C-alpha cells in the first residue's frame, strides 16, 4: 500500500511538472552591459534547484568533515566504556565460578579503565555506582582468598564512593556493602563487628530477611541468646524458614535461655518472656520445670508450667516420644514437693485419675506409686511400684522404683525383701 501511494504521488508530480513546464513561455532576461542574456524560465528554475542541491550537499560534507574528530573521540570513549563494562562483567562471572584471583584482577582492571575514561574527559553518568560495585567484587574476592588487608581496603573505598547517598542506587549499594561486611565478620567469628555493621543500617534495611539472618548468626555467636530468639521470631514471621525449621530454632534458643537461668527469679523472667506458643512446647515446659526443681524454686509454678503439657498428653497419648515421657515423669515427680498446699494435692488427684484411666502405663504407675508414698499410702504405693517395675524401660526410673520398694520394705521390717530390692536397684 505504501509503495502504491508513492507511485501515485510520483505520477502526480510528473503530471504537474509537465503541465507547468510544457507550455511555459516565460523567459528571464539578464542584462550584463553591454550584453543581454535571455533564459528560459524552466532552465532558470532547474538551475536554481540544482544549485540549492549542490550547496546543501557541500554544506553537509563540510559539517561531516568538521564532525569527524568529535566522532572519533566519542568512538574511542565508547570503546573504553565497553571495555570497562566488560571487565566488570568478567569480574562478576569469575567470582561466581570461584576464580577469585581473576575476579579481583578483572575488578581492578575495570577501576583502572574507568579512571582512564574519566581522565580523558568522558566520564560516565553512573561512574560512582560502577566504582562502588567494582570495589565490592574485589573485596568479596579478597575475602574468599583470606586477604583481609585488601578486603578492608576495597570495602572502605566502596563505602567512600557511596557516602553521599545521593540516589536510591547509591543508598542500596551502601547497604549492600554493610551487609557484606557483616557477613564477612561472621566468617571471621567476630560477632561484635557484625552487630556493629548491622546497627549502622537504616531501620528498614535492618529488618530485611538477609540482615535478620546475619543478625541471628551474630547474636548466637556472641551468646546473646535473648536477642537471637527475638530475631528468630521475626525470621519465622517473615517466612524465612519452614515451619518445622523455625520451631526447631526457636525451641533451641529458648532451651538455651532456660538452661542459662541461675536462680528461680531469672527462670521466671525467662518463662514470662516466651510467647504462648513457645510455652506450650512440651520440651520447653519440661525443661523449665526440671530447672526450677534443680534451682530449688517454687514447685507450684513448675507444676503450673507442666499442666498444659499434662493435659495434652492425656488427650494425645502418642504426643511425646519415650524419652520425653520419661522427662515429664521426672519433672512431675520433682515438682510434687510438699503435700501441704492444695495445688499439690490436686496434682496427686490428677495423677491417680490418669493412672486409673490408663492402668497399663508403667510411667503413670511409677508416678502414682511415688505420689502414694508422699501421702504415706504404703500398701498402694508398693502395689503400684511393683507393677511399674515390669513395664519400665528407662533404667533411671527402674532404679528409682526399686529404691522406693527397698525403702518400703525396710519400713515394714522385711529385711529380705529390702535386700532383694536394693540388689535389683544396683543391678539396674
pLDDT for the residue 406: 82
pLDDT for the residue 183: 92
Residue 427 in domain: yes
Q: How far apart are CA 350 and CA 320, in angstroms?
A: 19
Please tell me the pTM assigned to this model: 0.73
pLDDT for the residue 341: 60
Q: How far apart are CA 287 and CA 267, in angstroms?
A: 11
Residue 407 in domain: yes
pLDDT in tens, 371-427: 788 777 788 888 888 888 888 888 888 888 888 888 888 888 778 887 887 888 787
Can you tell me the mean pLDDT for 325-337? 77
Residue 40 in domain: no
pLDDT in tens, 208-225: 888 889 898 999 888 888
**Residues 251, 256, 257, 261, Cα dihedral to 10°:** 140
pLDDT for the residue 140: 92
Evaluate if residue 282 carries a pLDDT over 90: no
pLDDT for the residue 344: 63
Can you tell me the mean pLDDT for 88-106? 92
Evaluate if residue 78 carries a pLDDT over 90: no
Give the domain extent around 399: 361-428
Residue 413 in domain: yes
Can you tell me the mean pLDDT for 56-79? 86
Residue 394 in domain: yes
Residue 403 in domain: yes
What CATH number is attached to the domain comprising 408? 1.25.40.10
Evaluate if residue 81 carries a pLDDT over 90: no
Residue 396 in domain: yes
**Residue that is written with C-alpha cell 549542490 in the block:** 54
Segment among 144-148, 256-260, 313-317 with least mean pLDDT: 313-317
pLDDT band at 17 (very low <50, low <70, confident <90, very high): low
Query: Comparing C-alpha atoms, which of 339, 338, 289, 323 is closest to residue 309?
Result: 289
Q: Dihedral sign, CA of 269, 272, 277, 279?
A: positive
Evaluate if residue 338 carries a pLDDT over 60: no
pLDDT band at 340 (very low <50, low <70, confident <90, very high): low
Evaluate if residue 252 carries a pLDDT over 60: yes
Evaluate if residue 43 carries a pLDDT over 80: no
| Of residues 324 and 141, more confidently modeled | 141
Which pairs with CB-CB distance under 8 Å and at least 24 residues apart come from 154-157?
A: 155/180, 155/181, 157/131
pLDDT for the residue 94: 92
By percentage, how much of the chain surpasses pLDDT 70?
95
Evaluate if residue 55 carries a pLDDT over 90: yes
Residue 387 in domain: yes
Domain count, the chain: 1
Mean pLDDT for all residues in the chain:
83
Can you tell me the mean pLDDT for 63-92? 86
Amino acid at each position: 500500500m505504501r509503495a502504491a501511494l508513492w507511485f501515485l504521488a510520483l505520477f502526480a508530480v510528473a503530471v504537474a511538472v509537465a503541465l507547468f513546464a510544457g507550455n511555459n513561455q516565460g523567459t528571464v532576461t539578464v542584462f550584463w552591459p553591454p550584453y543581454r542574456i535571455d533564459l528560459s524560465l524552466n532552465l532558470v528554475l532547474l538551475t536554481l534547484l540544482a544549485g540549492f542541491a549542490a550547496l546543501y550537499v557541500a554544506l553537509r560534507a563540510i559539517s561531516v568533515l568538521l564532525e569527524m574528530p568529535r566522532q572519533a573521540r566519542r568512538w574511542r570513549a565508547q570503546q573504553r566504556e565497553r571495555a570497562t563494562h566488560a571487565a566488570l562483567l568478567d569480574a562478576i562471572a569469575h567470582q561466581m565460578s570461584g576464580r577469585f584471583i581473576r575476579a579481583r584482577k578483572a575488578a581492578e582492571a575495570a577501576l583502572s579503565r574507568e579512571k582512564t575514561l574519566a581522565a580523558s574527559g568522558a566520564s560516565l553518568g553512573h561512574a560512582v555506582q560502577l566504582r562502588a560495585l567494582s570495589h565490592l567484587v574485589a573485596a568479596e574476592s579478597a575475602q574468599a582468598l583470606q586477604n583481609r588487608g585488601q578486603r578492608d581496603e576495597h570495602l572502605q573505598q566502596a563505602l567512600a564512593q557511596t557516602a553521599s547517598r545521593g540516589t536510591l542506587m547509591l543508598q542500596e549499594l551502601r547497604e549492600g556493602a554493610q551487609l557484606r561486611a557483616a557477613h564477612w565478620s561472621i566468617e571471621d567469628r567476630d560477632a561484635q563487628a557484625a552487630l556493629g555493621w548491622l546497627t549502622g543500617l537504616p531501620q528498614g534495611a535492618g529488618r530485611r530477611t538477609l540482615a535478620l539472618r546475619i543478625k541471628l548468626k551474630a547474636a548466637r555467636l556472641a551468646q546473646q541468646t535473648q536477642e537471637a530468639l527475638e530475631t528468630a521470631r521475626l525470621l519465622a514471621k517473615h517466612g524465612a524458614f519452614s515451619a518445622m525449621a523455625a520451631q526447631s530454632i526457636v525451641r533451641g534458643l529458648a532451651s538455651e535461655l532456660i538452661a542459662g537461668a541461675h536462680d528461680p527469679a531469672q527462670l521466671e523472667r525467662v518463662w514470662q518472656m516466651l510467647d504462648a506458643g513457645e510455652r506450650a512446647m512440651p520440651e520447653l515446659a519440661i525443661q523449665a520445670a526440671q530447672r526450677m526443681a534443680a534451682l530449688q524454686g517454687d514447685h507450684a509454678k513448675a507444676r503450673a508450667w507442666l499442666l498444659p503439657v499434662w493435659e495434652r498428653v492425656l488427650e494425645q497419648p502418642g504426643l511425646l516420644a519415650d524419652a520425653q515421657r520419661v522427662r515429664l515423669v521426672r519433672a512431675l515427680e520433682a515438682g510434687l514437693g510438699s503435700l501441704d498446699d492444695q495445688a499439690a494435692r490436686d496434682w496427686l488427684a490428677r495423677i491417680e485419675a490418669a493412672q486409673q484411666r490408663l492402668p497399663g502405663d508403667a510411667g503413670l504407675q511409677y508416678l502414682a506409686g511415688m505420689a502414694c508414698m508422699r501421702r504415706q499410702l504404703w500398701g498402694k504405693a508398693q502395689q503400684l511400684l511393683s507393677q511399674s517395675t515390669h513395664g519400665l524401660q528407662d533404667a533411671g526410673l527402674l532404679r528409682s522404683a526399686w529404691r522406693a520398694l527397698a525403702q518400703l520394705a525396710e519400713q515394714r521390717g522385711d529385711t529380705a525383701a529390702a535386700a532383694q530390692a536394693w540388689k535389683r536397684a544396683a543391678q539396674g
